[in-house]
Chains A and B, each alone.
Chain A
Amino acid sequence: MSKGLERRKAILSDPVAQFERAVEIREFENQINALFASGTIRGTTHLCLGQEALVIGMASVLRTDDPVSATYRSHGIALALGITPESAMGEIMGKAIGCCGGLGGSMHLCDIELGLLPTSAIIGGGMPIAAGAALAFQIQGNDRVAVALFGDGATNIGAFHETLNLAAIWKLPVVFICDNNVYAEYSRINLTTPIEDLHIRAESYAMPHFALDGMDIDAVREGVQSAVDRARSGGGPTLIEAKTYRFAGHSRADQALYRPEGELDSWKSRDPLLLLEERVKKSGKMTESEIAEMKVRIAKEIEATVALCQAAPEPTTKTMFENIWSRKVSQ
């Protein structure tokens, strides 16, 4: 079994592994943030700090043959699905060991073995793709399910509405998960959208829909599982709205000064990492000192990943001419 598949298997039901993965994502994102801030990495990056429970909860109820189309806010979902830290970080550093050979970058992570389709940097771009994957499964008569993960801002783009309608009339085995982290870039959702509960938009497509607490992994698991079960058993699509919060700014340069005072702090009191920690403590699965040790161990592992990726080779010039078409055609 590949390392990625092992990593996926680990989080399917073990609360300790789920907590550890969340700590890993948090540590990973903090390192990426520092590497961008120091100019070690170029381009742009979108962190998923505060949204760890959503991505891990999703990944823990999906099968590896259930494809997920996600967005440029890609690091968390990729790590949750099982991609190795060196594969993701290598990509973000543009190294040959990266999951896209260093040609994609932070916004374009991908691992087909784990079900991660290439993440899209176009708002709404992944939604029709997920519907199309689901169409294939429906025609092939298998029980695979496709998943689209996208932001609150994406509910204002045409692709969202067209895809919901199409998936509804064709009863496609697809689950739409809107990660409502309250902001789209520098705009609070209420400034661009006349409703607060985005999931009700599915009502006009006669599609089942509900909101869930995206900070609480058990709520995520239960909600996503119910939608996946419906899709797998021929019941068609569902729109889920996960209420989360983006702890960091939109992208690298953004300090998020537009947020009302106290908003971040109030969400941080329900930091998914705190909730995951409580969960393992309450059930007696980890002691205080085990938790402290685990955090130190993961921090060291991610530091080692940074060193490994920094030392890794750059892609060769040849690679930029590969994978354009199915075979090389001289131009």
Chain B
Amino acid sequence: MPAMRVRQAIATAIADEMRTDPTVIVFGEDIAAAEGPFKTTEGLLEEFGPVRVRDTPISEMAFTGAAVGAATMGMKPVIEIMFIEFLGVALDQLVTEGAKMRYLSNGQLSVPMVVRASVGGGLGFGGQHSQTLENWVAATPGLKVLAPSDAQSAYSLLRAAIQDPDPVMFLESRVTYAERGEVDTNLKMEIGKARVVKPGKDLTIVALGQMTNVARQAAATSGIDIEIIDLCTIVPWDKKTVLESVKKTGRLVVVEEQPESGGWGSEVVAAVVAELFADLKTVPIRITCPNVPVPYNGGLEARFLPNPVEVNYQIDQLMATGKAPQPWWTREGF
């Protein structure tokens, strides 16, 4: 199995789909000649040429909508929104137009497109270039929302996303782009199916994107036998895998890279409470970012993001008291 960086796994997944399906086309800002600001489209222009691989002007609304239109007429566009924040200027075309096409055509139209976007903090890009913003897209019926966490899931999930007949939002943790991992190109991953990345029996962590790595690091130094679930799909999320795990462990900790308000973890906690109330040994908790913008300063940005030390602190407190520990900002009086 080849080891590749996450960014290469993404480029490889797109290339493999383009080889098998001539309707797959790719566009975005500086993704062709420059091979992407994060080199996630390396080699595509060279292999597939300028008809299928295109640079766009700085016009996210136009090219997102163009992807919707092309998708309705038999193409499979894979477009890149460089930083998820730039989706703000194109949101209408994705959530109000694209995601409604099947419904408002009474099932006659399909919109098989993928919107890839880099997300997340940790690199010092400041308040307008560091958010994850899953909740901008998670509340739109008709959209599927995916988030890989490593090279294998980036490869396999992106192939699944491109093959899918519905619009898919594909959220890539920017800090993981340079990380290497083994990739089995024959391994299929399904939309809506989570991965148990570490088995354990005492407590279940559900994480997403770069928080999966944080969970792994926390588990590696924890005295508790932790099971880690990489959710992979936010919409429609894999209730079955999560419920099975929590039924076994009796404890749930969600680790989210998001301000506390409105995060996807609330959905997970609500479902677990509703369905497994009697099986829970402790209250389910969420470990999130505080409700503030992402600070630029390196020390503050590191505090802002959930980290292994805080995850283990929360877990240890939970195990010791059975109660939900306070988040660090409440403990410190902010």
Point out residues on A near B: beta carbons under 8 Å. 42-44, 94-95, 100, 102-108, 120-124, 153-154, 156-159, 184-187, 191-193, 258, 314-315, 317-321, 324, 331
Contacts and interface: CB of A to CB of B under 8 A. Distances in A.
5 contacts: A44-B125, A120-B128, A185-B34, A315-B295, A331-B260
B127 A192 contact: no
Nearest to B304: A320
Contacts of A192: 55-58
Name the prevailing secondary structure of the A interface residues: loop
A160 to B, nearest CB: 10
Interface of B: 29-30, 33-34, 37, 55-62, 85-86, 88-89, 123-129, 260-261, 290-293, 295-300, 303-304, 329, 332, 334
B57 A185 contact: no
Given A314-B299, A320-B303, 15 more contacts: A44-B125, A95-B297, A105-B125, A105-B296, A123-B58, A124-B89, A156-B57, A192-B55, A317-B300, A319-B300, A320-B295, A321-B290, A321-B292, A324-B291, A331-B291
B41 to A, nearest CB: 12
B295 A122 contact: no
Contact of B296 (A104, A317, A321): A104
A73 to B, nearest CB: 14
Contacts of A185: 29-30, 34, 37
A161 to B, nearest CB: 10
B89 A186 contact: no
A132 to B, nearest CB: 17
Nearest to B128: A121
Contacts of B88: 122
A186 B33 contact: yes
Contacts of A94: 124, 296-298, 300
B208 to A, nearest CB: 22
Nearest to A91: B296
A198 B35 CA distance: 27
B55 A108 contact: no
B61 A122 contact: no
A319 B292 CA distance: 10
Contact of B297 (A124, A157, A193, A314): A314
B49 to A, nearest CB: 16
B311 to A, nearest CB: 18
Nearest to A154: B58
Given A185-B29, A185-B34, A185-B37, A105 B126 contact: yes
Given A124-B89, A258-B34, A158 B128 contact: no
B334 A317 contact: yes
Contacts of B124: 42-44, 94, 105
B300 A103 contact: yes
